[in-house]
Amino acid sequence: MKLSYMTAEQLVAKCIEIGSAQYDALMMDEIAKFNRLFDKIVAVEDELQRREGDQRRLLLALYDHENPQVRLNAIKATLAIAPDLGRKALEALAEAGEGIQSMDAGMCIFGLDDGTYKPT
Tens-digit pLDDT profile for residues 109-120: 999 999 999 999
Q: Kindly state the average pLDDT of the residues 13-27.
A: 98
82-103 as b/e, with b when 16 or more CB fall inside 10 Å?
A: beeebbebbeebbeeebeebbe
Contacts of 28 (CB under 8 A, 6+ apart): none
The mean of the pLDDT values for the chain is 97
Tens-digit pLDDT profile for residues 29-69: 999 999 999 999 999 999 999 999 999 999 999 999 999 99
Q: 3-114, what's its fold?
A: 1.25.40
- What distances in angstroms separate CA 16 from CA 11, 22, 43, 50, one per listed residue? 9, 10, 14, 19
Q: Kindly state the average pLDDT of the residues 62-84.
A: 98
Q: Kindly state the average pLDDT of the residues 15-29.
A: 98
